[in-house]
Structure 1
């Protein structure tokens, strides 16, 4: 008996699009219209209306494109409404500029989120909010997860993001992908955002999955692409080395029952040794430096001592302790002191 194929469920398709494309869709809306204060609501409204329309008329051939089109129209409607109320005719004239072609933006040919990361880390924002904004607008990390990363209540983080969007509203057309010559000034914030996205993959969540593999893998990939794109940036190179070395141990972090396995008890044959070699190659090309780049380099060095030990007993604990001491001197962090 031939079984008929089940038609795709609109709710399942929407859930997948939200997981995989939220950040990219939101970033494109902001890049196109320069209105982060309107873009997120417009995208949420488009998603809310999609289920009913797709259930009645069928799922579109390219769901993300459908959502992007509908959300873009909603942004324009909101801007027209503002113009009507405030008599600002110039808003509509500047509301829908032609987006820069992807090939004109460095990195867009490999992952169009790369230029958007440099857009979201705007220097007019407070340093502590820039990575959070990039996490939400570009990488699509939920607000509750961002709040957990920053150790604040979800309502507090939501309020901070709202204030940041209002701040960006006053910037106007300046909130766009910056000239690539300015990208080096934003590398630290981009590195922080990618590192936090990686960390979010290990944050506690509902369900059996201890490590959110897709989130961690995407962060590692973005770090690698960013380092290859900005070859003169030590902070991005150090980040790539660090995340690659950490991710190399991912498959051994959990046992058959899904529980976490201590580093000393991990089956090191399950480590990804090609990743370890890649991380070590990136790390050994770096020299001591200062600032956040040096913090990441020292963290990568600690990860390298673990990754290069054949057994737990072979670990060079003296070198690790010495590196932690240098890291503590640089950061003054009580967490580093504890480690």
Structure 2
């Protein structure tokens, strides 16, 4: 009610996350506005548990539902503040489609929502580091993401999510009436992905691979070969494989509450009285330094990993 009586427009800030055991996902939505006394106000207008992973389509469905149920469409400025994850950018597109479909029943907005999206600069910088090093030929052992996979928006009936499901973004977008600008943006994204995929492809040697060491470089285009040679990109060695195995072990540990609890107890028994020894956090695809943080955490509880391996070898 405070938002409705303020005679000003409000902006939305939202964020989503999962529980430590990755079993549940949540979405928090905040509103910020200036009241009649020119005082900045903010409030949490929704805190919803998501029915699936936090994807752009799911975010959009919840935000649209919140605005409709609380009759806030006419009071919203169209501004969304979030981190720079691709899911949030897609959410703005889905919401824009909803706004366009509601023309005539809501106050038209001056600007497109996709043009009023405020993203976290630090998050964008992290993505730039990842994409830049990948384009330079660096091998990054990061979490793989399927950027083309989303969940179709759901509707809420008696506080229960109904409909939706796993879809391909390209197929879903084809079913929607996209503007010329949105189609051009989609084509640019597809072209960029194709170029990045081409840069990341490893050259396949001809024959039995008995030719000289320069064969890989010769198989690349001149520009790509120069980049690879400059950064000395090479195949994943045994060290990288070992780090990958440690990461996979940590993924398995965090895959269920039971295994997470068991490893927590193993840490306590391996480091009695040391409360700072905890289960390491998993790396992710949106923080360029998260792989280093993960490995440092694993080294910090090395005894627990050793005990876990020994128990597996003895069949305990």
Normalising by structure 1, report the TM-score.
Answer: 0.25
Q: Of the two, which has the highest radius of gyration? A: 2
TM-score relative to the length of structure 2? 0.26
Select the structure that is richer in strand: 2
